[in-house]
Amino acid sequence: MTSTDTPAASGPDAAHRYTADLASDIEARWQDRWEAEGTFHAPNPVGDLARPGQGELPSEKQFILDMFPYPSGAGLHVGHPLGYIATDVVGRYKRMLGLNVLHALGYDAFGLPAEIYAVETGRHPRETTLENIGTMRQQLRRLGLAHDDRRSFATIDPGFVKWTQWIFLQIFNSWFDPELKKARPISELIEKLGTDDPSVIDEYRLAYIKDSPVNWCPGLGTVLANEEVTADGRSERGNFPVFKRNLRQWQMRITAYADRLLDDLDGLDWPEPVKLMQRNWIGRSHGASVVFDAGVAPIEVFTTRPDTLFGATYMVLSPEHPLVDTLTTAEQSAAVGAYRAQAASKSDVERQESREKTGVFTGAHATNPVNGQQIPIYVADYVLMGYGTGAIMAVPAHDERDWEFAQVFDLPTPRVISADRDGGGELPWTGAGVLVNSANDEVSLDGLEVEEAKERIIAWLESKGLGTGTTTYRLRDWLFSRQRYWGEPFPIVFDEDGRAIALPESMLPVDLPEVPDYSPRTFDADDTTSEPEPPLSRVQEWVNVELDLGDGLKKYRRETNTMPNWAGSSWYEIRYTDPHNDAALADPVNERYWLGPRNSGGGESDPGGTDLYVGGVEHAVLHLLYARFWHKVLFDLGHVSGSEPFRKLFNQGYIQAYAYTDERGAYVPAADVVEEAGADGVVTWTYEGKPVKREYGKMGKSLKNVVTPDEMYEAYGADTFRLYEMSMGPLDVSRPWETRAVVGSQRFLQRVWRLVVDEDSGVGSVSDELASDELRQALHKTIDAVRTEMDGMRFNTAIAKLIELTNQVTKAEMRPREVIEPLVLMLAPFAPHIAEELWSRLGHPETLAYQPFPTADPAFLVEESVTCVVQVQGKVRARLEVSPAVSEADLTALALAEPNVQRALDGKEPRRVIVRAPKLVNVVV
Partner RNA sequence: GCCGGGUUGGCGAAACAGGUAUACGCAAUGGAUUCAAAAUCCAUCGUCCGAAAGGGCAUGCGGGUUCGAUUCCCGCACCCGGCACCA
866-885 residues in contact with RNA (CB under 7 A) are: 867, 869, 871, 873-877, 879
In this structure, what DSSP letter does residue 520 have? P
What are the beta bridge partners of residue 377? 315
Give the one residue of 247, 515, 589, 800 binding RNA; rule: CB under 7 A: 800
Measured CA to CA, the distance from residue 486 to residue 561 in angstroms comes to: 10
Element (H, E) at 854: none
What are the beta bridge partners of residue 251? 208, 479
Measured CA to CA, the distance from residue 477 to residue 130 in angstroms comes to: 33
Give the one residue of 382, 460, 490, 716 binding RNA; rule: CB under 7 A: 382
Residue 281 or 494: which CB sits closer to RNA?
281
Measured CA to CA, the distance from residue 38 to residue 49 in angstroms comes to: 12
Give the one residue of 75, 241, 414, 729 binding RNA; rule: CB under 7 A: 729
Residue 746: what are its φ and ψ, rounded to 5°? -65, -40
Residue 391 or 502: which CB sits closer to RNA?
391
Residues 733-762 that bind RNA (CB under 7 A): 733-736, 738, 740-741, 743-745, 747-748, 750-751
In whole angstroms, the minimum distance from the beta carbon of 768 to RNA comes to 24
Residues 145-164 that bind RNA (CB under 7 A): none
Q: How is 68-80 classified by DSSP, letter by letter?
A: PPP--TT---TTT
In whole angstroms, the minimum distance from the beta carbon of 618 to RNA comes to 5
HEC profile of 269-335: ECCHHHHHHHHHHHCCEEEEEEEEECCCCEEEEEECCHHHHHHCCEEEECCCCCCHHHHCCHHHHHH
Residue 122 or 273: which CB sits closer to RNA?
273
Residues 36-75 that bind RNA (CB under 7 A): none
In whole angstroms, the minimum distance from the beta carbon of 742 to RNA comes to 8
Residue 494 or 685: which CB sits closer to RNA?
685
Alpha-carbon Rg for the chain, nearest whole angstrom, is 34
Instruction: Identify which of 615, 680, 599, 690 has the alpha carbon closest to the alpha carbon of residue 648.
Output: 615
Residues 445-484 that bind RNA (CB under 7 A): 474
In whole angstroms, the minimum distance from the beta carbon of 571 to RNA comes to 23
Residue 336 or 617: which CB sits closer to RNA?
617
The answer to the question of residue 570 lying near RNA (CB under 7 A) is: no
In whole angstroms, the minimum distance from the beta carbon of 873 to RNA comes to 6
In whole angstroms, the minimum distance from the beta carbon of 71 to RNA comes to 21
Residue 462 or 511: which CB sits closer to RNA?
462
Residues 523-562 that bind RNA (CB under 7 A): none
Residues 693-712 that bind RNA (CB under 7 A): 697
Instruction: Identify which of 339, 385, 346, 345 has the alpha carbon closest to the alpha carbon of residue 362.
Output: 339
In whole angstroms, the minimum distance from the beta carbon of 460 to RNA comes to 18
In whole angstroms, the minimum distance from the beta carbon of 740 to RNA comes to 5
In whole angstroms, the minimum distance from the beta carbon of 9 to RNA comes to 11
3-class SS of residue 475 = coil
* Contact predicate 502/579, CB 8 Å: no
| Class of residue 230 by CB neighbours under 10 A (exposed 0-12, middle 13-18, buried 19+) | middle
Strand pairing report for 478-479 and 243-252: antiparallel
Region of 163-171, 444-452, 480-488, 722-730 interacting with RNA (CB under 7 A)? 722-730
Region of 52-60, 482-490, 768-776, 797-805 interacting with RNA (CB under 7 A)? 797-805
Region of 21-29, 544-552, 571-579, 726-734 interacting with RNA (CB under 7 A)? 726-734
The answer to the question of residue 407 lying near RNA (CB under 7 A) is: no
Give the one residue of 468, 807, 865, 887 binding RNA; rule: CB under 7 A: 807
Q: How is 684-702 classified by DSSP, letter by letter?
A: EEEETTEEEEEEEE---GG
Give the one residue of 270, 302, 429, 721 binding RNA; rule: CB under 7 A: 302
Kindly report the number of other CB atoms within 10 A of residue 842's CB atom.
15
The answer to the question of residue 904 lying near RNA (CB under 7 A) is: yes
In whole angstroms, the minimum distance from the beta carbon of 838 to RNA comes to 17
Element (H, E) at 496: none
Q: Is the dihedral of CA 9, 15, 21, 23 positive or negative?
A: negative
Region of 182-190, 231-239, 259-267, 806-814 interacting with RNA (CB under 7 A)? 806-814
x/- track of binding to RNA for residues 281-300 (CB under 7 A): x-x-x-x-------------
* Contact predicate 68/106, CB 8 Å: yes
What are the beta bridge partners of residue 501? 493
Residues 340-369 that bind RNA (CB under 7 A): 348-349, 351-355, 357
Give the one residue of 335, 419, 439, 621 binding RNA; rule: CB under 7 A: 621
Region of 212-220, 388-396, 592-600, 851-859 interacting with RNA (CB under 7 A)? 388-396
Size of the chain in residues: 925
Measured CA to CA, the distance from residue 425 to residue 451 in angstroms comes to: 19
* Count of residues interacting with RNA (CB under 7 A): 96
In Å, how far are 40, 55, 661, 706, 708 from 673, measured between CA atoms?
43, 60, 10, 13, 17
x/- track of binding to RNA for residues 214-253 (CB under 7 A): ------------x---------------------------
3-class SS of residue 47 = coil
Residue 189 or 290: which CB sits closer to RNA?
290
The answer to the question of residue 16 lying near RNA (CB under 7 A) is: no
Give the one residue of 710, 804, 818, 890 binding RNA; rule: CB under 7 A: 804
Measured CA to CA, the distance from residue 658 to residue 762 in angstroms comes to: 41
Residue 104 or 379: which CB sits closer to RNA?
379
Alpha helices in 693-772 (DSSP H): 709-716, 718-727, 742-756
| Class of residue 4 by CB neighbours under 10 A (exposed 0-12, middle 13-18, buried 19+) | exposed
Give the one residue of 683, 763, 859, 862 binding RNA; rule: CB under 7 A: 683
Strand pairing report for 649-651 and 612-615: parallel
Region of 20-28, 213-221, 327-335, 614-622 interacting with RNA (CB under 7 A)? 614-622
Give the one residue of 5, 56, 179, 272 binding RNA; rule: CB under 7 A: 272
* Contact predicate 883/865, CB 8 Å: yes
Residues 173-202 that bind RNA (CB under 7 A): none
Residues 756-795 that bind RNA (CB under 7 A): 794
Region of 27-35, 259-267, 676-684, 710-718 interacting with RNA (CB under 7 A)? 676-684
Give the one residue of 46, 276, 334, 459 binding RNA; rule: CB under 7 A: 276
In whole angstroms, the minimum distance from the beta carbon of 487 to RNA comes to 21
In whole angstroms, the minimum distance from the beta carbon of 316 to RNA comes to 8
Residue 223 or 848: which CB sits closer to RNA?
223
Residue 497: what are its φ and ψ, rounded to 5°? -90, 0
In whole angstroms, the minimum distance from the beta carbon of 650 to RNA comes to 14
Burial 268-296 (b: 16+ CB within 10 A, else e): bebbeebbebbeebbebeebbbbbbebee
Measured CA to CA, the distance from residue 166 to residue 542 in angstroms comes to: 20
Residue 826 exposure: Cα atoms within 13 Å on the Cβ side: 30
Measured CA to CA, the distance from residue 675 to residue 686 in angstroms comes to: 7
* Contact predicate 727/804, CB 8 Å: no
Alpha helices in 757-794 (DSSP H): 773-791
Residue 275 or 598: which CB sits closer to RNA?
275
In whole angstroms, the minimum distance from the beta carbon of 550 to RNA comes to 43
